[in-house]
Structure 1
Amino acid sequence: MSALPFPYPTPPSACFGCDPVTTDFTTVLVANRGEIACRIMRTLRERGIRSVAVYSDADRGARHVQLADAAVRIGPAAPASSYLNIDAILDAAARTDAEAIHPGYGFLSENQAFAQACADAGIVFIGPSVNALAVMGDKIRSKNHVAGFGVPIIPGIARPGLSDEQLIEAAAEVGYPLLIKPSAGGGGKGMEVVEAAEQLADALVTARRVAASAFGDDTLFLERLVATPRHIEVQVLADNYGAVIHLGERECSLQRRHQKVIEEAPSPLLDPATRVRIGEAACAAARSVDYRGAGTVEFLVAADAPGDFFFMEMNTRLQVEHPVTELVTGVDLVDWQLRIAAGEPLGLAQSDICLNGHAIEARVYAENPERDFLPMTGTVLALREPVGEGIRVDSALLPGLQIGGAYDPMLAKVVAWAPDRTAAIARLDRALADFLVLGVHTNLEYLRLLLQEPPVRAGQLDTALIERTLPHLAFRHADDHVLAAAALLVHNARFDAAISVWQRPSGWRLGEHRPARYQLGVGGGSVCTVGVWGEPGAASVCVGELSPRLGSLATLAVGRVRVEFAGVTRVYDVARAHGRLHLGHDGVAFDLLLPTRAEQLAELLAERDRVAGTLQPEVRSPMPGTVVAVPVSCGDRVVAGQTLATIEAMKMEHKLVAPQAGTVMISVGPGDLVRLDQIVATVTPDTKTTRDQGDP
């Protein structure tokens, strides 16, 4: 398969271990997908090692498949039938003569059964030993284990096999607020914050269901919640001969629902003495299980007492945020994973590691921050990834790529390096502004807004900061300039499609000219009417009820236009598909609906028939996904706010609630697949309730 360009900046400091070496590996299979599979293949290609991709039916045209030297189909879209199918992956390795398997992160990367199956098949698992996976893969066991090696742990109750009743009883001793955590897995899935005792029972039910679904293990434990905590992790490297070093720490405190959003290295919190102490503690944790390869030891640090840190867990794999460590140390972590797995001794001493400058990374997700960060699907209609000095992009995106709901919504990572933190943040912000994705809603604008927050710029971080800042963030919506640009684009398309001059929508009439009117859906059911007189290159444009103002449209390139309106000039990237118009400007994407005449009439009739003051009875799915729970039945009497169904997509659950009191009719059941905006329930209010709501 043809290789795609994959530019990376030269690391700013000496690149230890970057000289070509001879390893025992000629072919390595990458048992993962998305941006991490692409990133691993980059190093494999640099080392002259043949790469093998595996893919599901949903990923047949994915970027990692195109980058690989060979690719093998392993099953349908569902992860359990493809990327979590151990037999299928081992069969792919056997068919392609792969001597080793790199698991990336997620999926099978921390699965001890997979590591053992690789060993049984005579294939090298590029990761730690089965014993290290077993100890560190269980949060309860790992906490109790490292405590015996002098590593500080958070107070709590951590014993295997505890029932809900036992956890409720033990919670009083742990104290509130507390945190429920699943013993298996990571990434914040299944974690629940409990502020008071009356919330605990319901939270345990949710945590067990999510943990069982995500990890196949619903074992839970409790920890005391640390006030204003900061999440700081330490990267370690260890070989097969007892050498263990750390490569400094990463600050990962900017999180949403326990999922990291922005990470940086080094942490702006730690002083040199604490950096040494936390690094030594991380190495002690790694030595305690005879660790080998790359791993990360995660700590919780109190913001007001940075000298006190507590072990949370060890991630026995490469981390999503590993690029920031690579950029400040010059160490290619994937390269050293390959070398160590091939039996090479660690050629680095702790004294070789020097942190140079500052690096910061932002995760780009297919999600809508204004709709509670619900995951979004779609097709990439236009794409432009940022480049420049100190900028690195790890991405799985391609023009035409379909983003479905079967996998994690992370699309790419944008990383910036600079000599200091302020300059690194500025570079990252500029790179995010230059990142264009049309056709799929992303969090790019949100990331830029977050970087502008004073606490973020000052390095005053904690894991609850995002929740506090989100309510007052001002997202951009389609203003008059965007609406005028959209109308001019549609107007221009009609001009181009006209067979004769008489079919052009110029608005020319004897007497007063008549504008061409365009209906544009701006979200939430709102529609704006824009009138245009004249040719697109020199037109009068009226947005809503405002007076006409001068506007013009000029094509700069395919998919790019310059629009002047009311004295303001902007350049937009443009894509149109499936009745929608997508415009991108300065890191913000606008998605406008072009409703048909039938859709406009239906909405007009619905608004006319709706009683003033009443709520819509239909409950629609805010995202495509799978129904995982329906706690009510048809005919049940429900109250406003009661949960009617739970939808899961891209490893995230969302509860759909009754908009009003009344009688419910459910149209879905557990296991059903639902589309975006599909009606899943209808709540018919009592006659009295309807009458009361309609009274002035």
Structure 2
Amino acid sequence: MEPTTDTALFDTALFDTVLVANRGEIACRVIRSLRALGIRSVAVYSDADAGALHVREADVAVRIGPASPAQSYLSIDAILDACQRTGAQAVHPGYGFLSENQAFAQALGDAGLAFIGPSVHALNVMGDKIRSKNHVTDYGVPVVPGIARPGLTDQQLLSAAADVGYPLLIKPSAGGGGKGMHVVEREEDLAGTLPTARRVAASAFGDDTLFLERLILTPRHIEVQILADNHGNVIHLGERECSLQRRHQKVIEEAPSPLLDEATRARIGEAACNAARSVDYSGAGTVEFLVSADAPDEFFFMEMNTRLQVEHPVTEMVTGVDLVQWQVRIAAGEKLTLSQDDVVLTGHAVEARVYAEDPEAEFLPSTGVVSQLAEPHCEGIRVDSSLLRGLEISASYDPMLSKIIAWGSNRTEALNRLDRALADTVVVGVKTNIEYLRLLINDDDVRAGRLDTTMIERKLPGLVFRRLSDEEIAILAAAEAGNSTSEPASFHPVGSPWARRDGWRIGTPRPLTLHLAVSPGDVREVLVQPSGAGYDVRFGEGPARSVSIDRARGAATVDGIRRRAVVERFASTDHHGSTLWYSDAGWSTSVRILNRTERLETQLSRLARAEGAADPEVRSTMPGTVTSVSVADGDTVESGQTLLSVEAMKMEHQLTASVAGTVSIHLQPGDLVKANQIVARIHATETQPDAAGTPE
């Protein structure tokens, strides 16, 4: 059910021009509603986003700085300048970046511009988790037991922890999205975790204030969408279930929650409205609650998000209300024409977040260029996306690429439609979490609605990810052979048979030999020989597979059986081998083609260390920025010891020593690193044999 608004119901003059101070899918989504209202939209963009979809979608686009968010999307001066240059009367902040920034809202007001969001007072009270918890208790809103006071030192937190009780949760007072939260199950672990929590909070939010909360067992994350105007009217639009989280980051959201009954829904909705009334809230906002799966009639306030949420589409799908249009109307002075009795939840909606990340490699962010793209278009499906063919996915920003939302007359139908839509999604050139999402929504517990915020962490070790079969490797090899025949060498005329790389010769063609790195440590030697309209592909001494490729239709035929297959080839930028991508049913993977130089490097690396020994070279698993270095050059380190941390796409990853020895490292915080870059080397400590000649 798409959100709709009857514009004939309104008389108040709206803004002529609205600037969208954001990027990606949320900027595209806001621009879509502005267009429906007949409002001129202004996009802003950094150098990294010059070719982005939101830039193309807007009526006007303004460059605001380089790729670094601090110099572009987080620059209040740059946004104000863009408003002045384009005649914007109001700013929609989306979510993230400046959406909950008090100084930004104040600066807009001082410049005579409307902030499409709540007042500075509401931002101030609700933007701090400690202040907001203490504030809403006076309005009858239940809160989780804990200690929440400004300026608490580590020693004060340690002293108060016993009264809070274990397990407990360390939370940063500023920020959101689960970043910087740490679970502590034992008293002896708290002292060592607090410094890390402070450092992450300071780095992410510029504020290292922490507080403690009791960890609710089998917790479910339920949030309530509210709308409030500037005339004292406050309503809620039902709740969303956001319990499927990984590292406190939401993955799947749905509306309504399968947990709550009508009586609890009314009570939690009223509590959310009271929280909004406590700060004279206006606009769209979300009040988040923690509910124990064992006691679903009890709920505890966690925080209020004073902005649009990533998961707002599921509410729009079940209510038919366009939240962005209402944000604009309220900011322009409109009264709500909806009463609480007018809000009816119809059917069920589920949203899946598509990220540029590799679930099999601890969800490390992925970068690349989108070479092939297909997004689903079918009944009950909505796609909020910023994807474009040819788009470069940068390490500078959040890794979320799109959201796929499915509506159904009931929960089962919505989940089935979402699964089909994910299977129909093709994103080639960057690793995504689509396969992981399909595994998740087809889990028996998820299907039954037995959810909690720790479920994914428990389920993840048991998830079986798809691997390339021999048949699929044969398809890739045949596709590469087809690519190879079309690449003339520079010293032969174009079209000359001597310029072909398919092993052409008088008589029987010579097979093309490929070395495919299917996964780390798994290099397959494949022989490919032209045969009729296709190729015979052989692994070692095994039987040949007959393969033909139909690129135009995204299909391949193997031994007479036709199957879907999207294959794409990327040339190397580092003078090493190229990369082949394979996609099918929402799943994609890449295979490295090793050339002679790369094979030689691999062989020499193996010769330099004992058989089976760990690689002494420590490489960055992703492009990013060094956030901390834990050792100095020349230090003695143990195997498994943390050497440094690298952050990209709002995720921090620790790199550790693979062996014990002396470390060689020359990086410092703020340095940029590339994917697969050597960041440290360990000169292994030689193990001395004991008296019996056996290594200790």
- Residue 525 of structure 2 is aligned to residue 520 of structure 1: no
Q: Output aligned runs, 1:209-248, within 5 Å.
A: 209-248=199-238
Normalising by structure 2, report the TM-score. Answer: 0.95
Q: Which moved more, 1:606-615 or 1:353-362?
A: 606-615
Q: Secondary structure at the match of 2:301?
A: strand
- Matched with 1:127 is 117
- Residue 188 of structure 2 is aligned to residue 198 of structure 1: yes
State the 1:206 CA deviation. Answer: 1.4
* 1:117-162 C-alpha deviation (Å, 9 max, x unpaired): 1111110000001111111001001001111111000000000010
- Matched with 1:75 is 65
Q: Output aligned runs, 1:7-156, within 5 Å.
A: 10-11=2-3, 15=5, 23-156=13-146
* 1:669-692 C-alpha deviation (Å, 9 max, x unpaired): 111100001111111121116999
Tell me the amino acid that sits aligned with residue 386 of structure 1.
P
State the 1:388 CA deviation. Answer: 0.8
Residues 693 and 443 of structure 1: CA distance in aligned 2, closer, same or farther (over 3 Å) = farther
Give the distance between the partners of 1:255 and 1:126, measured in 2 at CA. Answer: 29
- Matched with 1:660 is 659
- Residue 406 of structure 2 is aligned to residue 416 of structure 1: yes
Tell me the amino acid that sits aligned with residue 684 of structure 2.
P
Q: Output aligned runs, 1:213-362, within 5 Å.
A: 213-362=203-352
Give the distance between the partners of 2:620 and 2:550, measured in 1 at CA. Answer: 39
* 1:179-221 C-alpha deviation (Å, 9 max, x unpaired): 0011111001111111112221222111111111221111110
Q: Secondary structure at the match of 1:115?
A: helix
State the 1:501 CA deviation. Answer: 5.9
- Matched with 2:687 is 688
- Residue 558 of structure 2 is aligned to residue 562 of structure 1: no
Query: Are the aligned partners of 1:228 and 1:462 in contact in 2 as well (CA < 8 Å)?
Result: yes
Q: Secondary structure at the match of 2:675?
A: coil
Q: Output aligned runs, 1:305-454, within 5 Å.
A: 305-454=295-444
- Matched with 2:632 is 633
Q: Which moved more, 1:648-657 or 1:17-26?
A: 17-26
Query: Are the aligned partners of 1:190 and 1:207 in contact in 2 as well (CA < 8 Å)?
Result: yes
Give the distance between the partners of 1:98 and 1:145, measured in 2 at CA. Answer: 35
Give the distance between the partners of 1:10 and 1:178, measured in 2 at CA. Answer: 41
Q: Output aligned runs, 1:495-534, within 5 Å.
A: 495-497=485-487, 499=495, 514-534=510-530
Tell me the amino acid that sits aligned with residue 540 of structure 1.
D
Identity in percent: 63
Give the distance between the partners of 2:630 and 2:484, measured in 1 at CA. Answer: 50
* 1:525-566 C-alpha deviation (Å, 9 max, x unpaired): 4211111233362432213442223322234x1xx5422224
Query: Are the aligned partners of 1:380 and 1:399 in contact in 2 as well (CA < 8 Å)?
Result: yes
- Matched with 1:605 is 604
Tell me the amino acid that sits aligned with residue 482 of structure 2.
N
* 1:225-277 C-alpha deviation (Å, 9 max, x unpaired): 00010000000000001100000000000001100000000000001111011
Give the distance between the partners of 1:407 and 1:419, measured in 2 at CA. Answer: 36
Give the distance between the partners of 2:339 and 2:387, measured in 1 at CA. Answer: 37
Tell me the amino acid that sits aligned with residue 575 of structure 1.
E
Give the distance between the partners of 1:415 and 1:586, measured in 2 at CA. Answer: 17
Q: Secondary structure at the match of 2:687?
A: helix
Query: Are the aligned partners of 1:232 and 1:298 in contact in 2 as well (CA < 8 Å)?
Result: yes
- Matched with 1:616 is 615
Residues 502 and 629 of structure 1: CA distance in aligned 2, closer, same or farther (over 3 Å) = closer
Tell me the amino acid that sits aligned with residue 621 of structure 1.
S
- Residue 470 of structure 2 is aligned to residue 480 of structure 1: yes
Query: Are the aligned partners of 1:232 and 1:252 in contact in 2 as well (CA < 8 Å)?
Result: yes
Tell me the amino acid that sits aligned with residue 349 of structure 1.
S
Give the distance between the partners of 1:384 and 1:243, measured in 2 at CA. Answer: 43
Tell me the amino acid that sits aligned with residue 584 of structure 1.
S
Tell me the amino acid that sits aligned with residue 315 of structure 2.
T
Q: Secondary structure at the match of 2:435?
A: helix
* 1:41-84 C-alpha deviation (Å, 9 max, x unpaired): 00001111000111111111111111111111111111111111
Residues 623 and 455 of structure 1: CA distance in aligned 2, closer, same or farther (over 3 Å) = same
State the 1:523 CA deviation. Answer: 2.5
Gap regions ≥5 residues in structure 1: 1-8
State the 1:511 CA deviation. Answer: 9.3
State the 1:18 CA deviation. Answer: 7.9
Match for residue 539 of structure 1 among 535, 541, 545: 535
Query: Are the aligned partners of 2:484 and 2:502 in contact in 1 as well (CA < 8 Å)?
Result: no
State the 1:371 CA deviation. Answer: 0.8
Give the distance between the partners of 1:540 and 1:54, measured in 2 at CA. Answer: 52
Q: Secondary structure at the match of 1:345?
A: coil
Query: Are the aligned partners of 1:612 and 1:694 in contact in 2 as well (CA < 8 Å)?
Result: no
Residues 627 and 507 of structure 1: CA distance in aligned 2, closer, same or farther (over 3 Å) = closer
Q: Secondary structure at the match of 1:109?
A: coil
Give the distance between the partners of 2:192 and 2:183, measured in 1 at CA. Answer: 11
Residues 693 and 511 of structure 1: CA distance in aligned 2, closer, same or farther (over 3 Å) = farther
Gap regions ≥5 residues in structure 2: 489-494, 572-577
State the 1:495 CA deviation. Answer: 3.5
State the 1:315 CA deviation. Answer: 0.2
Give the distance between the partners of 2:111 and 2:618, measured in 1 at CA. Answer: 51
Residues 501 and 59 of structure 1: CA distance in aligned 2, closer, same or farther (over 3 Å) = closer
Residues 285 and 16 of structure 1: CA distance in aligned 2, closer, same or farther (over 3 Å) = farther
- Matched with 1:552 is 548
Give the distance between the partners of 1:580 and 1:323, measured in 2 at CA. Answer: 36
Tell me the amino acid that sits aligned with residue 567 of structure 2.
V
Residues 567 and 27 of structure 1: CA distance in aligned 2, closer, same or farther (over 3 Å) = same
Residues 67 and 683 of structure 1: CA distance in aligned 2, closer, same or farther (over 3 Å) = same
- Matched with 1:647 is 646
Q: Which moved more, 1:544-553 or 1:361-370?
A: 544-553
Residues 522 and 148 of structure 1: CA distance in aligned 2, closer, same or farther (over 3 Å) = same
Give the distance between the partners of 2:83 and 2:367, measured in 1 at CA. Answer: 31
Q: Output aligned runs, 1:662-681, within 5 Å.
A: 662-681=661-680
Residues 630 and 501 of structure 1: CA distance in aligned 2, closer, same or farther (over 3 Å) = closer
Residues 203 and 693 of structure 1: CA distance in aligned 2, closer, same or farther (over 3 Å) = farther
State the 1:90 CA deviation. Answer: 0.9
Tell me the amino acid that sits aligned with residue 523 of structure 2.
V
Match for residue 169 of structure 1 among 128, 145, 159: 159
Give the distance between the partners of 1:508 and 1:240, measured in 2 at CA. Answer: 77
Tell me the amino acid that sits aligned with residue 115 of structure 2.
F
Residues 107 and 510 of structure 1: CA distance in aligned 2, closer, same or farther (over 3 Å) = closer
* 1:596-650 C-alpha deviation (Å, 9 max, x unpaired): 2211222123224431132111111111111111111111111111110011111
Query: Are the aligned partners of 1:491 and 1:536 in contact in 2 as well (CA < 8 Å)?
Result: no
Residues 347 and 689 of structure 1: CA distance in aligned 2, closer, same or farther (over 3 Å) = farther
State the 1:574 CA deviation. Answer: 2.4
Give the distance between the partners of 1:606 and 1:159, measured in 2 at CA. Answer: 54
Give the distance between the partners of 1:580 and 1:386, measured in 2 at CA. Answer: 26
Q: Secondary structure at the match of 1:161?
A: coil
Q: Secondary structure at the match of 2:51?
A: coil
> How many residues are treated as equivalent by the alignment?
683
Q: Secondary structure at the match of 2:141?
A: coil
State the 1:593 CA deviation. Answer: 1.1
- Residue 201 of structure 2 is aligned to residue 208 of structure 1: no
Query: Are the aligned partners of 1:367 and 1:374 in contact in 2 as well (CA < 8 Å)?
Result: yes
Query: Are the aligned partners of 2:630 and 2:643 in contact in 1 as well (CA < 8 Å)?
Result: yes
Residues 502 and 133 of structure 1: CA distance in aligned 2, closer, same or farther (over 3 Å) = closer
Give the distance between the partners of 2:642 and 2:606, measured in 1 at CA. Answer: 27
